[in-house]
Amino acid sequence: MSQFAKKMTEILNHGALNLAMAMGYKHQIFDTLEELNKPVTVSELALASGFHPRYLKEWLGIMVTAQIIDLCKDQKGEETYFLPPEHASFLTRKGGSMNMGVYTQEIPLLTACAMDSVTQAFRTGDGVPFSRYPEFQGFMAELSDAKHEKVLIDHFLPTVDQGQLCARLSQGIRVCDLGCGHGVALNLMARAFPNSSFVGIDNHHEAIRQGAAAAREAGIDNATYLAQDAADIHRKDELSSRFDYICAFDAIHDQSHPLDVLKGVIHMLAPGGLFSMIEIQARSSPADNMDHPMGPFLYTVSLMHCLPVGLNDNGAGLGMMWGQEKAEALLRDAGFEEIEISPMEHDPFNLHYLCRAPLRSALTM
Protein backbone atom coordinates (compact mmCIF):
# COMPACT_ATOMS: atom_id res chain seq x y z
CA MET A 1 0.00 0.00 0.00
CA SER A 2 1.39 3.42 -0.88
CA GLN A 3 2.14 5.89 1.89
CA PHE A 4 -0.78 8.07 0.86
CA ALA A 5 -3.18 5.11 0.66
CA LYS A 6 -2.15 4.25 4.23
CA LYS A 7 -2.78 7.82 5.27
CA MET A 8 -6.22 7.78 3.62
CA THR A 9 -7.06 4.52 5.42
CA GLU A 10 -6.11 6.12 8.73
CA ILE A 11 -8.20 9.20 7.93
CA LEU A 12 -11.30 7.11 7.20
CA ASN A 13 -10.80 5.02 10.32
CA HIS A 14 -10.18 7.98 12.59
CA GLY A 15 -13.06 10.04 11.16
CA ALA A 16 -15.43 7.16 11.92
CA LEU A 17 -13.82 6.55 15.29
CA ASN A 18 -14.29 10.21 16.34
CA LEU A 19 -18.03 9.85 15.68
CA ALA A 20 -18.31 6.65 17.71
CA MET A 21 -16.26 8.10 20.55
CA ALA A 22 -18.50 11.18 20.60
CA MET A 23 -21.49 8.89 21.13
CA GLY A 24 -19.70 7.03 23.92
CA TYR A 25 -18.69 10.32 25.53
CA LYS A 26 -22.22 11.74 25.33
CA HIS A 27 -23.67 8.62 26.95
CA GLN A 28 -20.92 8.63 29.61
CA ILE A 29 -19.90 5.08 28.70
CA PHE A 30 -16.22 5.88 29.25
CA ASP A 31 -17.12 7.28 32.68
CA THR A 32 -19.12 4.15 33.50
CA LEU A 33 -16.24 1.89 32.45
CA GLU A 34 -13.84 3.92 34.57
CA GLU A 35 -16.11 3.65 37.59
CA LEU A 36 -16.45 -0.11 37.10
CA ASN A 37 -12.63 -0.23 37.10
CA LYS A 38 -12.38 -3.88 36.02
CA PRO A 39 -12.94 -5.94 32.83
CA VAL A 40 -16.72 -6.32 32.29
CA THR A 41 -18.96 -8.29 29.92
CA VAL A 42 -21.38 -6.57 27.55
CA SER A 43 -24.27 -7.54 29.85
CA GLU A 44 -22.53 -6.06 32.87
CA LEU A 45 -21.85 -2.84 30.96
CA ALA A 46 -25.46 -2.74 29.74
CA LEU A 47 -26.66 -3.08 33.31
CA ALA A 48 -24.32 -0.40 34.65
CA SER A 49 -24.85 2.09 31.81
CA GLY A 50 -28.53 1.53 30.99
CA PHE A 51 -27.85 1.13 27.24
CA HIS A 52 -28.92 -1.68 24.96
CA PRO A 53 -26.45 -4.61 24.83
CA ARG A 54 -26.68 -5.02 21.05
CA TYR A 55 -25.71 -1.39 20.39
CA LEU A 56 -23.07 -1.56 23.08
CA LYS A 57 -21.55 -4.66 21.47
CA GLU A 58 -21.24 -2.88 18.11
CA TRP A 59 -19.77 0.20 19.78
CA LEU A 60 -17.29 -1.92 21.73
CA GLY A 61 -16.24 -3.53 18.44
CA ILE A 62 -15.15 -0.07 17.27
CA MET A 63 -13.38 0.74 20.53
CA VAL A 64 -11.54 -2.59 20.63
CA THR A 65 -10.35 -2.54 17.01
CA ALA A 66 -9.20 1.05 17.52
CA GLN A 67 -7.37 -0.04 20.71
CA ILE A 68 -9.17 2.45 22.91
CA ILE A 69 -10.61 -0.34 25.06
CA ASP A 70 -8.85 -3.67 25.82
CA LEU A 71 -10.57 -6.94 24.92
CA CYS A 72 -9.94 -9.80 27.39
CA LYS A 73 -11.62 -13.08 28.38
CA ASP A 74 -12.93 -13.98 31.82
CA GLN A 75 -12.55 -17.38 33.51
CA LYS A 76 -15.66 -18.70 31.74
CA GLY A 77 -14.17 -17.71 28.39
CA GLU A 78 -16.62 -14.84 27.95
CA GLU A 79 -15.35 -11.66 26.31
CA THR A 80 -14.76 -8.73 28.65
CA TYR A 81 -13.89 -5.08 28.08
CA PHE A 82 -11.57 -2.87 30.05
CA LEU A 83 -10.80 0.84 29.73
CA PRO A 84 -7.14 1.29 30.78
CA PRO A 85 -6.74 4.09 33.38
CA GLU A 86 -4.23 5.96 31.16
CA HIS A 87 -6.95 6.16 28.46
CA ALA A 88 -9.70 6.98 30.96
CA SER A 89 -7.84 10.06 32.15
CA PHE A 90 -8.25 11.61 28.67
CA LEU A 91 -11.81 10.42 28.04
CA THR A 92 -13.83 11.00 31.16
CA ARG A 93 -15.32 14.06 32.81
CA LYS A 94 -13.03 13.49 35.80
CA GLY A 95 -10.08 14.27 33.50
CA GLY A 96 -10.69 18.02 33.94
CA SER A 97 -8.33 20.00 31.71
CA MET A 98 -6.90 16.70 30.35
CA ASN A 99 -10.34 15.64 29.13
CA MET A 100 -10.05 15.36 25.34
CA GLY A 101 -13.21 13.24 25.12
CA VAL A 102 -15.34 16.36 25.24
CA TYR A 103 -13.75 17.52 21.94
CA THR A 104 -14.85 14.34 20.11
CA GLN A 105 -18.35 15.83 20.11
CA GLU A 106 -17.39 18.99 18.30
CA ILE A 107 -17.21 17.84 14.66
CA PRO A 108 -20.31 15.56 14.84
CA LEU A 109 -22.28 18.39 16.47
CA LEU A 110 -21.20 20.99 13.91
CA THR A 111 -21.92 18.53 11.09
CA ALA A 112 -25.44 17.90 12.38
CA CYS A 113 -26.11 21.65 12.82
CA ALA A 114 -24.56 23.19 9.79
CA MET A 115 -23.23 20.83 7.12
CA ASP A 116 -25.83 21.93 4.53
CA SER A 117 -25.59 25.64 5.35
CA VAL A 118 -21.81 25.69 5.26
CA THR A 119 -21.72 23.66 2.04
CA GLN A 120 -23.97 26.25 0.42
CA ALA A 121 -22.09 29.21 1.88
CA PHE A 122 -18.88 27.71 0.49
CA ARG A 123 -20.16 28.75 -2.95
CA THR A 124 -21.68 32.13 -2.10
CA GLY A 125 -19.27 33.40 0.56
CA ASP A 126 -22.22 34.26 2.83
CA GLY A 127 -22.17 33.85 6.58
CA VAL A 128 -24.26 31.30 8.50
CA PRO A 129 -26.42 32.75 11.30
CA PHE A 130 -25.61 31.75 14.86
CA SER A 131 -29.19 30.46 15.17
CA ARG A 132 -28.20 27.55 12.88
CA TYR A 133 -26.13 26.18 15.74
CA PRO A 134 -28.84 25.61 18.36
CA GLU A 135 -26.84 23.15 20.46
CA PHE A 136 -23.60 25.03 20.27
CA GLN A 137 -23.96 27.17 23.42
CA GLY A 138 -24.66 24.06 25.48
CA PHE A 139 -21.58 22.39 24.05
CA MET A 140 -19.45 25.49 24.76
CA ALA A 141 -20.67 25.42 28.37
CA GLU A 142 -19.60 21.78 28.63
CA LEU A 143 -16.23 22.65 27.12
CA SER A 144 -15.87 25.58 29.52
CA ASP A 145 -16.68 23.33 32.44
CA ALA A 146 -13.94 20.94 31.35
CA LYS A 147 -11.49 23.78 30.66
CA HIS A 148 -12.13 26.22 33.47
CA GLU A 149 -13.22 24.13 36.44
CA LYS A 150 -9.76 23.06 37.55
CA VAL A 151 -7.61 25.69 35.85
CA LEU A 152 -9.10 29.19 35.87
CA ILE A 153 -8.90 30.09 39.54
CA ASP A 154 -5.93 28.01 40.67
CA HIS A 155 -3.65 28.28 37.64
CA PHE A 156 -4.62 30.93 35.09
CA LEU A 157 -5.62 33.98 37.15
CA PRO A 158 -2.54 33.75 39.43
CA THR A 159 -0.32 34.16 36.35
CA VAL A 160 -1.99 37.40 35.23
CA ASP A 161 0.15 40.50 35.84
CA GLN A 162 2.60 38.45 37.96
CA GLY A 163 0.00 37.63 40.58
CA GLN A 164 -1.08 41.24 41.06
CA LEU A 165 -4.49 40.63 39.49
CA CYS A 166 -5.43 38.03 42.11
CA ALA A 167 -4.36 40.38 44.91
CA ARG A 168 -6.61 43.10 43.45
CA LEU A 169 -9.47 40.62 42.89
CA SER A 170 -9.28 39.68 46.57
CA GLN A 171 -9.46 43.34 47.58
CA GLY A 172 -12.33 44.12 45.20
CA ILE A 173 -12.32 45.29 41.57
CA ARG A 174 -14.81 45.46 38.70
CA VAL A 175 -14.58 42.60 36.20
CA CYS A 176 -16.26 41.83 32.88
CA ASP A 177 -16.27 38.58 30.90
CA LEU A 178 -17.01 39.55 27.30
CA GLY A 179 -18.72 36.84 25.22
CA CYS A 180 -19.36 35.00 28.47
CA GLY A 181 -21.73 32.37 27.01
CA HIS A 182 -23.36 30.40 29.84
CA GLY A 183 -21.21 32.21 32.41
CA VAL A 184 -19.15 29.22 33.55
CA ALA A 185 -15.97 31.31 33.94
CA LEU A 186 -17.83 34.33 35.32
CA ASN A 187 -19.61 32.38 38.04
CA LEU A 188 -16.39 30.56 39.04
CA MET A 189 -14.56 33.90 39.39
CA ALA A 190 -17.45 35.54 41.25
CA ARG A 191 -17.54 32.72 43.78
CA ALA A 192 -13.76 32.77 44.27
CA PHE A 193 -13.55 36.56 44.76
CA PRO A 194 -16.57 37.75 46.75
CA ASN A 195 -15.21 41.31 47.21
CA SER A 196 -15.13 41.93 43.45
CA SER A 197 -18.11 42.54 41.16
CA PHE A 198 -18.58 40.65 37.89
CA VAL A 199 -20.58 41.38 34.74
CA GLY A 200 -21.04 38.86 31.93
CA ILE A 201 -21.78 40.31 28.49
CA ASP A 202 -23.08 38.28 25.55
CA ASN A 203 -25.56 38.90 22.75
CA HIS A 204 -27.06 35.42 23.08
CA HIS A 205 -30.10 35.96 25.30
CA GLU A 206 -30.64 32.34 26.25
CA ALA A 207 -26.99 31.91 27.29
CA ILE A 208 -27.24 35.04 29.45
CA ARG A 209 -30.45 33.75 31.02
CA GLN A 210 -28.82 30.45 31.87
CA GLY A 211 -25.71 32.13 33.30
CA ALA A 212 -27.86 34.32 35.55
CA ALA A 213 -29.96 31.33 36.62
CA ALA A 214 -26.84 29.32 37.49
CA ALA A 215 -25.53 32.25 39.57
CA ARG A 216 -28.86 32.54 41.40
CA GLU A 217 -28.98 28.81 42.09
CA ALA A 218 -25.45 28.83 43.46
CA GLY A 219 -26.26 31.82 45.70
CA ILE A 220 -23.72 34.03 43.89
CA ASP A 221 -24.77 37.66 44.39
CA ASN A 222 -21.79 39.52 42.90
CA ALA A 223 -22.36 38.41 39.27
CA THR A 224 -24.79 40.10 36.89
CA TYR A 225 -25.45 39.54 33.21
CA LEU A 226 -26.03 41.95 30.35
CA ALA A 227 -27.41 41.04 26.91
CA GLN A 228 -25.46 43.34 24.62
CA ASP A 229 -23.91 43.27 21.16
CA ALA A 230 -20.19 43.69 21.83
CA ALA A 231 -19.74 45.59 18.54
CA ASP A 232 -21.93 48.46 19.87
CA ILE A 233 -20.24 48.86 23.24
CA HIS A 234 -17.84 51.59 22.10
CA ARG A 235 -20.86 53.84 21.47
CA LYS A 236 -22.37 53.39 24.94
CA ASP A 237 -21.47 56.21 27.32
CA GLU A 238 -22.87 54.32 30.29
CA LEU A 239 -20.26 51.57 29.77
CA SER A 240 -17.28 53.95 29.67
CA SER A 241 -14.49 53.10 32.18
CA ARG A 242 -16.77 50.61 33.92
CA PHE A 243 -14.19 47.85 34.50
CA ASP A 244 -10.70 47.30 35.91
CA TYR A 245 -10.26 43.89 34.28
CA ILE A 246 -11.93 42.39 31.20
CA CYS A 247 -11.45 38.86 29.91
CA ALA A 248 -12.62 37.27 26.66
CA PHE A 249 -12.25 33.51 26.44
CA ASP A 250 -12.39 32.18 22.90
CA ALA A 251 -14.78 34.95 21.91
CA ILE A 252 -13.00 37.56 19.75
CA HIS A 253 -12.39 35.44 16.63
CA ASP A 254 -16.15 34.73 16.32
CA GLN A 255 -17.00 38.42 16.04
CA SER A 256 -18.24 39.91 12.79
CA HIS A 257 -16.75 43.28 13.76
CA PRO A 258 -13.80 42.42 15.96
CA LEU A 259 -12.12 45.84 15.67
CA ASP A 260 -15.25 47.56 17.01
CA VAL A 261 -15.41 44.97 19.79
CA LEU A 262 -11.80 45.61 20.82
CA LYS A 263 -12.44 49.36 20.73
CA GLY A 264 -15.37 48.61 23.03
CA VAL A 265 -13.00 46.79 25.40
CA ILE A 266 -10.78 49.87 25.64
CA HIS A 267 -13.88 52.04 26.09
CA MET A 268 -15.04 49.87 29.02
CA LEU A 269 -11.64 49.70 30.73
CA ALA A 270 -10.61 52.23 33.33
CA PRO A 271 -7.34 53.92 32.27
CA GLY A 272 -4.52 51.41 32.79
CA GLY A 273 -7.03 48.56 33.16
CA LEU A 274 -6.17 45.04 32.01
CA PHE A 275 -7.61 42.91 29.22
CA SER A 276 -6.97 39.16 28.89
CA MET A 277 -7.76 37.89 25.41
CA ILE A 278 -7.58 34.10 25.25
CA GLU A 279 -7.34 32.81 21.70
CA ILE A 280 -6.22 29.64 19.94
CA GLN A 281 -2.46 29.21 19.77
CA ALA A 282 -1.66 29.44 16.07
CA ARG A 283 0.20 31.52 13.53
CA SER A 284 -1.64 33.53 10.90
CA SER A 285 -0.25 31.68 7.87
CA PRO A 286 -0.98 27.96 7.30
CA ALA A 287 2.67 27.67 6.23
CA ASP A 288 3.64 28.43 9.82
CA ASN A 289 1.10 25.97 11.23
CA MET A 290 2.50 22.87 9.51
CA ASP A 291 3.71 21.48 12.85
CA HIS A 292 0.56 22.46 14.76
CA PRO A 293 -0.54 19.25 16.53
CA MET A 294 -4.24 20.07 16.02
CA GLY A 295 -4.06 22.02 12.75
CA PRO A 296 -6.60 20.07 10.63
CA PHE A 297 -9.02 19.70 13.55
CA LEU A 298 -9.01 23.40 14.45
CA TYR A 299 -9.20 24.62 10.85
CA THR A 300 -12.22 22.29 10.39
CA VAL A 301 -13.99 23.65 13.48
CA SER A 302 -13.29 27.10 12.09
CA LEU A 303 -14.63 26.18 8.65
CA MET A 304 -17.80 24.72 10.14
CA HIS A 305 -18.50 27.42 12.73
CA CYS A 306 -16.14 30.30 13.50
CA LEU A 307 -15.61 31.49 9.93
CA PRO A 308 -19.28 31.35 8.79
CA VAL A 309 -20.45 33.01 12.01
CA GLY A 310 -17.83 35.74 11.68
CA LEU A 311 -18.89 36.41 8.07
CA ASN A 312 -22.43 37.37 9.08
CA ASP A 313 -23.44 41.02 8.74
CA ASN A 314 -20.65 41.65 6.17
CA GLY A 315 -18.28 40.51 8.88
CA ALA A 316 -14.51 40.19 8.97
CA GLY A 317 -14.67 36.36 9.10
CA LEU A 318 -11.42 36.01 11.05
CA GLY A 319 -11.81 32.30 11.67
CA MET A 320 -10.48 30.50 14.72
CA MET A 321 -6.99 30.13 13.22
CA TRP A 322 -6.52 33.88 12.64
CA GLY A 323 -3.27 33.51 14.54
CA GLN A 324 -0.86 35.53 16.56
CA GLU A 325 0.29 38.04 13.94
CA LYS A 326 -3.25 39.15 12.97
CA ALA A 327 -4.39 39.14 16.60
CA GLU A 328 -1.56 41.39 17.73
CA ALA A 329 -2.10 43.76 14.77
CA LEU A 330 -5.84 44.06 15.55
CA LEU A 331 -5.18 44.75 19.22
CA ARG A 332 -2.78 47.54 18.20
CA ASP A 333 -5.30 48.94 15.67
CA ALA A 334 -7.87 49.09 18.47
CA GLY A 335 -5.48 51.18 20.54
CA PHE A 336 -3.63 48.77 22.83
CA GLU A 337 0.07 49.60 23.00
CA GLU A 338 1.22 47.29 25.80
CA ILE A 339 0.61 43.68 24.77
CA GLU A 340 2.23 40.64 26.36
CA ILE A 341 1.69 37.28 24.65
CA SER A 342 2.31 34.11 26.61
CA PRO A 343 1.50 30.40 26.36
CA MET A 344 -0.80 28.98 29.03
CA GLU A 345 0.82 26.26 31.08
CA HIS A 346 -2.35 24.27 31.71
CA ASP A 347 -3.97 24.96 28.35
CA PRO A 348 -1.71 24.13 25.39
CA PHE A 349 -4.55 24.99 22.93
CA ASN A 350 -4.53 28.70 23.74
CA LEU A 351 -2.43 31.84 23.99
CA HIS A 352 -2.93 34.62 26.50
CA TYR A 353 -2.76 38.18 25.17
CA LEU A 354 -2.50 40.44 28.22
CA CYS A 355 -3.13 44.05 27.22
CA ARG A 356 -3.05 47.22 29.30
CA ALA A 357 -5.40 50.04 28.37
CA PRO A 358 -3.70 53.34 27.64
CA LEU A 359 -3.85 55.78 30.54
CA ARG A 360 -5.60 58.30 28.29
CA SER A 361 -8.35 55.87 27.13
CA ALA A 362 -11.25 57.19 29.17
CA LEU A 363 -10.60 60.75 28.07
CA THR A 364 -10.26 60.22 24.34
CA MET A 365 -12.82 57.53 23.44
Ligand X SMILES: C[S@@+](CC[C@H](N)C(=O)[O-])C[C@H]1O[C@@H](n2cnc3c(N)ncnc32)[C@H](O)[C@@H]1O
- Can you give the binding site for ligand X, defined by CB under 6 A? 140, 144, 179-181, 202-204, 207, 229-231, 249-251, 254-255
Q: Which residues contact 98 (CB under 8 A, 6 or more apart)?
A: 89, 90
Quick one: 18 or 203, whose CB is closer to ligand X?
A: 203
326: Cα separation from own chain's centroid: 20
If the CB atoms of residues 88 and 146 are measured against ligand X, the closer one turns out to be: 146
Query: Residue 295 Cβ, how far from ligand X at the closest point, in Å?
Result: 19
For ligand X, the closer CB: 204 or 326? 204
State in angstroms the smallest separation of the CB of 220 from ligand X.
Answer: 17
Cβ 248 to ligand X shortest distance, Å = 7
Smallest separation (angstroms) from ligand X to the CB of 225: 12
Cβ at position 246, least distance to ligand X in Å: 12
Residue placing its CB nearer to ligand X in the complex, 175 or 180? 180
- The 3-class SS string of the chain reads CCHHHHHHHHHHHHHHHHHHHHHHHHCCHHHHHHHHCCCECHHHHHHHHCCCHHHHHHHHHHHHHCCCCEEEECCCCCEEEECCHHHHHHHCHHHHHHCCHHHHHHHHHHHHHHHHHHHHHHHHCCCCCHHHCCCHHHHHHHHHHHHHCCCHHHHHHHHHHHHHHHHHHHHCCEEEEECCCCCHHHHHHHHHCCCCEEEEEECCHHHHHHHHHHHHHCCCCCEEEEECCHHHHHHCHHHCCCEEEEEEECCCCCCCCHHHHHHHHHHHEEEEEEEEEEEECCCCCHHHHCCCCCHHHHHHHHHHHHHHHHCHHHCCCCCCCCHHHHHHHHHHHHCCCEEEEEEECCEEEEEEEEEECCCCHHHHC
What type of residue is 176? C
- C-beta of 39 vs 200, nearer to ligand X: 200
Q: Minimum distance from CB of 109 to ligand X (Å)? A: 13
Of 181 and 323, the one with the shorter C-beta distance to ligand X is 181
State which amino acid sits at residue 279: E
State the Cα–Cα distance between residues 330 and 260, nearest whole angstrom.
10
Q: Which is nearer to ligand X, 87 or 253 (CB)?
A: 253
Q: How far is the CB of 351 from ligand X (least distance, A)?
A: 14
Identify whether the C-beta of residue 146 lies closer than 8 Å to the C-beta of residue 102: yes
State the minimum distance, in angstroms, from the CB of residue 223 to ligand X: 14
Min. distance of Cβ 156 from ligand X in angstroms? Answer: 12
Choice between 250 and 347, CB closer to ligand X: 250
Residue with smaller CB distance to ligand X, 101 or 179 = 179
